[in-house]
Structure formats: C-alpha cells, structure tokens
C-alpha cells in the first residue's frame, strides 16, 4: 500500500529547540543514581534513538499557550518521557522482545529483572519530579493516566490470542496504553502555561486523537514496514499474540477456510504463516480501513486546535499531526 513520504521532524523540533535541549539535560540529570545498574539500564533505553514525540507534544502544547514556556513545562516533558520509557521497559519483558529501535532491548542486555525494576525507578522518579512541581492538578492528571495505562497493559494481556476481540475492545486498549499518555502530556503542559480550562481540554483532545492515530499507524506499519525502518521484526504483533485492527478487520472480512487459517496463525503465536497473513490482511482491505480511521483521528486532532490562537507552536502541532499520519517508521 503506497503512502506519502513522512514529513521531517526537524522543522517541528526547531520551534522548541531550546526547550528540548533543556529537557534532554534534565533527563540526563534525573537518571543519576548511586546504584550504577539503574543508570545503565535507563540510559540504554532513553538514549537508544527515540524521536521524543511525547515530550515534543508537551512542549509545543505549552508554547501554544505561552511563547516562553516555564521550567515546569520542561519538567512536564521529562515526566512524560520517563513514564513512557518505564512502560517500554515493562512491555519488552512482557512481550519477550529482543529488539527496539534497531538495538537490543534492555531486557536482552541486562535481563528481565533489571528491566522491570528500573522501569519502576523511572515511574517513581517521574512522580518525584511532579512533587517538586508542586501542582496538585498535574499530580491528579498523571495519577489517573498512569493507573489507566497499567489497566490497559493488563487488558491487552487478557485479550491476547483471542480471535473474538472486537474493534471496540481494541480501541479501548490503544486509548489506555498509548493515547492516554499523549493526552496527559498535552494537558499538564497546558496547566504549566496557566491555560484556561477550555484551552486545557482542547490540547488534551488534540493529544488523545494524535495518540490514537499514532498507534493505528504503528499497527499498519507492523505489516507493511521493513525491519530496518521499524527497528524491530515485521509481524511482531502477530508473534506476540496481539490482535491489532488490521487483524481484527481481516478476521471479520474473511470467511471459510481463509478465516480458519488466520485464526490458526493467531493461535500459533509464530511467524511461519506471516507471508500468507500479510497477503490476507492486504487483500481484505484491512490496511486501508485502519489508515482511514487514523486519518479520521488526525482530523479530530487538528479540529481540537481551532479555538487556539494562531502561533508558530500551533502550526508545529498541526505539522506534527501530518507527520504522525504519513510516517513510515
């Protein structure tokens, strides 16, 4: 399935370059621990080539309200990055992943126990930073968000390998696991800029819809990207028993022997049938269907910003939405 080439992130990142540099410095400082293994594991993940999309959303959201974001906005971006990184450490253990962003996962290098425990460290360090921010509204948003994220992880575990998973269940999982953190990041960043309640909710909606679109495109790329681009193996979702929307749509579209074969491939939890599965997904229209839903989410994300004043940061958020829908990795 052909797609337009992704927009470069450079022009978006330049809008908050000073703030991103400050956030990266704070990340480095906050990873310091008198237990060497903690710093080693955390740095292995955080400095392994991530695009920092979630901190970018937070910093642009803050700047869309206040052209000179506060130090609290920098802290908010780091909180979001640490919580995201903690979930990645835990996810890689649960999924048994050995590659992320083209490099060995932390659990491959340091072991499962170290990865889980350092994930806990990052969670707790994020809350230490929030305590120093001394804003109960931010604590409230993030406490609810992290709890929902944890529930989403358990939901996904419960629903793995289940060929009866519905689209509604899937969308609830991706909201909890992925979109909720985007939503929370934009929301708390708006709080740090003393945004009105209307502005806070507008930016939170932007984050929610952007996060949903981001995950939907991830699920398309799992069956259409290359291992070099993705930094992981194509078909990882199938191998891990994750029923994403392309599989769900294919299951409800196919019938007879083809559907039975797809169910068997899901239950087998392997890659032996991957070429056939990819062909079945493509021929069922599942990739086009999933992408169309992602495009709808992006339209909703952009519409959420209508009431915000025009600014360089608002334009950058709109460009970031375009990047999310057009990216190839």
Residue 45 pLDDT level (bands cut at 50, 70, 90): confident
Mean pLDDT, rounded, of the chain: 90
Question: What does the alpha-carbon distance between residue 84 and residue 81 come to, in Å, rounded to a whole number?
Answer: 5
Q: Is the pLDDT of residue 38 over 50?
A: yes
pLDDT above 50: residue 4 = no
Q: Report the distance separating Cα 46 and Cα 31, nearest Å.
A: 10
**Phi then psi dihedrals of residue 195, to 5 deg:** -70, 155
Beta strands in 129-214 (DSSP E): none
Cβ partners under 8 Å of residue 229, min gap 6:
221, 328, 329
Give the span between the Cα atoms of 32 and 42, in whole angstroms. Answer: 10
H-helix or E-strand containing 48?
Answer: none
Tokens of 177: 């696991």
Between 49 and 320, the higher pLDDT residue: 320
What's the pLDDT at 5? 41
**Between the CA of residue 305 and those of 2, 6, 48, 87, 315, what are the distances in Å?**
29, 22, 32, 28, 10
Q: What is the pLDDT of residues 177-236, one digit of tens each?
A: 999 999 999 999 999 999 999 999 999 999 999 999 999 999 999 888 665 555 556 677
Average pLDDT over residues 153-175: 92
Across 72-90, b (16+ Cβ under 10 Å) vs e yields bbbbbbbbbbbbbbbbbbb
Condensed to tens digits (0 to 9), the pLDDT of residues 273-298 reads 888 999 999 999 999 999 999 999 99
- Indicate if the pLDDT at residue 2 is higher than 80: no
> Which has the closest alpha carbon to 10: 329, 323, 325?
323
Q: What structural domains does the chain harbor?
A: 10-326 (1.10.600.10)
87-138 pLDDT, tens digit each: 999 988 888 888 776 788 889 989 999 999 999 999 999 999 999 999 999 9
| Strand partners for 293 | none
Please state the pTM of the whole predicted model.
0.92
For residue 233, the model assigns a pLDDT of: 66
């Amino acid at each position: 399935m052909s797609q337009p080439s992704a927009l470069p992130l450079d022009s978006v990142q330049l809008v908050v370059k000073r703030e991103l540099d400050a956030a990266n410095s704070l990340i480095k400082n906050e990873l310091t621990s008198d237990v060497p293994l903690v710093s080693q594991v955390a740095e292995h993940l955080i400095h392994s080539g991530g695009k920092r999309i979630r901190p970018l959303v937070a910093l642009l959201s803050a700047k869309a309200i206040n052209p000179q974001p506060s130090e609290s906005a920098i802290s908010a971006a780091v909180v979001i990055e640490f919580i995201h990184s903690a979930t990645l450490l835990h996810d890689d253990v649960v999924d048994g992943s050995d590659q992320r962003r083209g490099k060995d996962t932390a659990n491959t290098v340091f072991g499962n126990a170290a990865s889980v425990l350092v994930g806990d460290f990052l969670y707790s360090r994020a809350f230490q930073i929030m305590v120093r921010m001394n804003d109960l509204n931010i604590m409230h948003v993030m406490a609810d968000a992290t709890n929902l994220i944890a529930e989403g992880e358990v939901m996904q575990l419960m629903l793995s390998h289940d060929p009866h998973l519905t689209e509604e269940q899937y969308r609830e999982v991706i909201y909890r696991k992925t979109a909720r953190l985007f939503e929370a990041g934009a929301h708390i960043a708006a709080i740090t800029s003393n945004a009105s309640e209307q502005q806070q909710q507008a930016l939170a909606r932007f984050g929610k819809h952007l996060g949903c679109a981001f995950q939907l495109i991830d699920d398309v790329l799992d069956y259409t990207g290359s291992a070099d681009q993705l930094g992981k193996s194509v078909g990882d979702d199938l191998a891990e028993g994750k029923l994403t929307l392309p599989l769900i749509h294919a299951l409800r579209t196919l019938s007879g022997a083809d559907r039975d074969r797809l169910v068997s491939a899901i239950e087998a939890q392997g890659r032996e049938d991957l070429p056939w599965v990819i062909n079945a997904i493509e021929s069922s229209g599942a990739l086009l269907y999933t992408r169309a839903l992602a495009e709808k989410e992006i339209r909703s994300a952009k519409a959420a910003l209508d009431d915000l004043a025009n600014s360089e940061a608002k334009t950058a958020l709109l460009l970031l939405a375009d990047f999310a829908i057009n990216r190839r990795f």
